[in-house]
Amino acid sequence: MRPLTVLQAAAAAVVAARLARGRRRPAPLRPGLSGPPPERVSVVVPARDEESRIGECLAPLLSDPAVGEVIVVDDESRDGTARLAERLGATVVTGAPLPDGWVGKQWALHQGVQAAKGPIVVLLDADTRPKEGLCAELAALLGSHDLVSAGPRFICGGALEQALHASLLATLVYRFGPIGPSSPIGPRGPVRREAAVERLLVNGQCMAFRKARMAEADGFARVRHHLTDDVALGRLLARDGWRVAFVDAGPLLEVDMHTSAASVWREWGRSIALRDVTPAGRLAGDLAVVWLTAALPVLRLAAGRPTPLDLGLLAQRLLLVAALRDSYVQPGPGLAASPLLDVATAVRLTWSALLPARSWRGRAYGRAYGPDHGRGRGPAAVRPAGRSAPPVRSAAR
């Protein structure tokens, strides 16, 4: 048997084991299951140049009886974000200038959580579309968890955008398994091994925790240099003993992250490798899994020389397409065509791993941020990226 075949078979077994965990996924969050939260809930939304879309995030929150206050941290926006948020009824915190050593989103969240009056804090990105009931259900989960992260349903503007997005999403499933483990990582969870913490995912678009516990942990300050801030925070707190869970909130949360396929390629692709929170050996293994089980079968099929294992992997990929339907507000032909882009996605994943981006939201960060933190002489000063930097459509950073 050829070495490549042996490696592909081993990678296929790993992916099959990860996908099998999907059978134990709990049901998605739904409204009204838990009743009103027993304590006040503060929602914090970090925002930098979000005038065009923050209204769709704030309006449902401001009318939700479970939400005690909505705080928008205006992170030095250059548009009318703060004015719009105030007009809608949110409390606007004017963000202080970004200190050296901090990435923008963590600094905004640090200020927003400090300003929150409620004992329960929910973090939401400005591109999310929450529905009534989301915050109540997240608050209820804090009875058995310390940090709750929620996965949304995605809004895609066209077939090509959805195809590329679904292909990138598939790489996360192949590398980490399905969203929504049945048990949290933590003192009373099934595992505490470092290996399990290294595979932990959270979604920074939506998180909930108790303010006092986060203040004690000083979580945002401790991950202030990370560009993949959400996963860095979740893994840090899990190592501290926090019970961390990632749940499916699709019926209660939608997100419109991007404006086009080019935007997906540029913006989500920049961080999809999770380089700054993944050890080099593990990252190499992740790349090998994606190339061997997703890209190679498509390449061989295109060449007219697929092996039986390739055909089995292609069939598995089509089953994943069906499983991902509930991850999209309007699943369409783009989702069905997503396996055709798996080679391009493997290229983007490799690019993200080898040449990580260090600019975001008009700010550029030195090599001491993200994957190179601790290797240089300390965080370089943040500098403006200039007006030639491409616009982005994700969370403030």
Residue 365 tokens read as 């960060």
Q: Alpha-carbon distance 374 to 368, whole Å?
A: 7
* Residue 41 placed within a domain: yes
278 within some domain: no
DSSP designation for 21:
G
In a domain, 225, yes or no: yes
Q: Order of strands across the sheet with 383-384?
A: 359-360, 363-364, 383-384
Domain boundaries, position 82 = 33-155+177-258
The β-bridge partners of 226 are: none
The tokens describing 13, both together, are 């077994």
Tell whether 333 is covered by a domain.
no
Over the stretch 173-189, which tens digit does the pLDDT of each residue have? 999 998 754 445 555 44
Average pLDDT score over residue span 62-85: 96
For the chain, the domain total comes to: 1
106-110, 172-176, 364-368: the lowest-pLDDT one: 364-368
Q: Burial code of 268-278, b = ≥16 C-beta within 10 A, e = fewer?
A: bbbbbbbbbbb
Global pTM value = 0.88
Q: Is residue 328 part of a domain?
A: no
pLDDT over 90 at 390, yes or no: no
Q: What is the pLDDT of residue 361?
A: 67
In the chain, which residue ranges form alpha helices assigned H by DSSP?
3-20, 54-62, 81-88, 104-115, 134-141, 159-176, 194-198, 211-217, 219-222, 229-239, 261-263, 280-290, 296-302, 308-323, 333-337, 342-354
Sign, CA torsion 237/243/248/251: negative
What's the CA gap between 353 and 276, in Å, rounded? 9
Nearest-10 Cα torsion for 68, 38, 135, 326: -170
**Structural domain includes residue 165:** no
For residue 172, tell me if it sits in a domain. Answer: no
Per-residue pLDDT reduced to its tens digit, 215-226:
999 999 999 999
User: Locate tokens 């250059």: which residue?
Assistant: 78
On the question of pLDDT at 397 being above 50, the answer is no
H/E element, 396: none
CATH number where 239 lies = 3.90.550.10
Mind listing the pLDDT tens digit for each residue in 138-162? 999 999 999 999 999 999 999 999 9
Does 384 map to a domain? no
